[in-house]
């Protein structure tokens, strides 16, 4: 079984004027496709790994043969991260988290605006390429995390809920070096319904793991 490039649920220009069609086309058709192809190439000699999801691969990197571990980290990460990104972005986004997640965000960060400010600050100070993530940790607490390159929180035992791509390829065609402009645009098309759904799933998969472990 080969990994496949997922289709976008909207057209390339659907996120205009915030994220432009040319960037979306390049980002999805060239960058994301490249990660998928290189991941498949890396797994060619390892049939037993080919049926595993990117989630499984990234959650167990030490179990990946050393010869392809870096390729799986980079390209499996690139595939998983972008697949998640296309769903976080939405032309008709829900502007606020669910009531339950709002309660959690209020108690952890003091409110949604404070959470967004903290993520924005990290996005603007991240040197080089990477993502700012919102995750759930093993104690079911919300955590903000900055990670370089295509590294994925799954590899450090965290469940990813939200990500902001701050690689230059995500914005350079339209915004050039004006990362702040891009970050503001990104918030305009962030779908908090999707983040809330990811949180619910992470909560229930966490308690399932604990039941199984207990
Ligand atoms: Mn990207």
Ligand 1 centroid – CA 167 distance (Å): 6
pLDDT at 84: 98
What is the pLDDT averaged over residues 65-92?
Answer: 98
Ligand 1 centroid – CA 32 distance (Å): 7
* Whole-number Cα distances in Å, 178 to 13, 119, 151, 175, 182: 21, 17, 24, 5, 7
pLDDT at residue 118 greater than cutoff 80: yes
Ligand 1 centroid – CA 184 distance (Å): 17
Ligand 1 centroid – CA 200 distance (Å): 25
Ligand 1 centroid – CA 201 distance (Å): 24
Ligand 1 centroid – CA 81 distance (Å): 8
What is the pLDDT averaged over residues 66-78?
Answer: 97
pLDDT at residue 153 greater than cutoff 80: yes
Ligand 1 centroid – CA 207 distance (Å): 31
Residue 189's Cβ-side half-sphere holds a number of Cα atoms within 13 Å equal to 21
pLDDT at residue 150 greater than cutoff 50: yes
pLDDT at 200: 96
pLDDT at 171: 87
Residue-wise pLDDT tens digits, 5-19: 999 999 999 999 999
Residue-wise pLDDT tens digits, 23-40: 999 999 999 999 999 999
Residue-wise pLDDT tens digits, 187-211: 999 999 999 999 999 998 875 555 5
Q: What is the mean pLDDT of the chain?
A: 94
Ligand 1 centroid – CA 103 distance (Å): 31
Task: Spell 133-170 as b/e; 16+ CB within 10 A means b.
Answer: bbbbbeeeebebbbbeebbbbbbeebbbbbbbbbbeeb
pLDDT at residue 214 greater than cutoff 50: no
pLDDT at 155: 95
Ligand 1 centroid – CA 97 distance (Å): 24
> Over the Cα atoms of the chain, what is R_g?
17
**Range of weakest confidence among 72-76, 118-122, 124-128, 170-174:** 170-174
182: left (phi over 0), alpha (psi -120 to 50) or beta: alpha
What is the pLDDT averaged over residues 158-162?
Answer: 97
Ligand 1 centroid – CA 149 distance (Å): 9
Ligand 1 centroid – CA 175 distance (Å): 15
Residue-wise pLDDT tens digits, 121-146: 999 999 889 999 999 999 999 999 99
pLDDT at residue 177 greater than cutoff 90: no
Ligand 1 centroid – CA 7 distance (Å): 15
């Amino acid at each position: 079984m080969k990994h496949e490039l997922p289709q976008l649920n909207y057209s390339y220009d659907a996120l205009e004027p915030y994220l432009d069609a040319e960037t979306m086309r390049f980002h999805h058709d060239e960058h994301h496709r490249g990660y998928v192809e290189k991941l498949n190439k890396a797994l060619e000699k390892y049939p037993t790994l080919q049926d595993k999801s990117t989630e499984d691969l990234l959650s167990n990197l030490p179990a990946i043969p050393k010869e392809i571990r870096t390729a799986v980290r980079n390209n499996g990460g690139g595939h998983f991260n972008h697949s998640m990104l296309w769903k976080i972005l939405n032309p008709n986004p829900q502007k606020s988290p669910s009531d339950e997640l709002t309660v959690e965000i209020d108690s952890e960060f003091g409110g949604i605006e404070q959470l967004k400010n903290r993520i924005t600050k990290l996005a603007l100070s991240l040197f080089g390429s990477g993502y700012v993530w919102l995750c759930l940790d093993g104690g079911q607490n919300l955590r903000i995390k900055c990670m370089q390159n295509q590294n994925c929180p799954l590899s450090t035992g965290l469940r990813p809920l939200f990500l902001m791509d701050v690689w230059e390829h995500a914005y350079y065609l339209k915004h050039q070096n004006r990362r702040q402009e891009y970050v503001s645009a990104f918030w305009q098309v962030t779908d908090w319904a999707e983040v809330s759904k990811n949180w619910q799933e992470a909560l229930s998969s966490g308690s399932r793991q604990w039941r199984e472990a207990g």
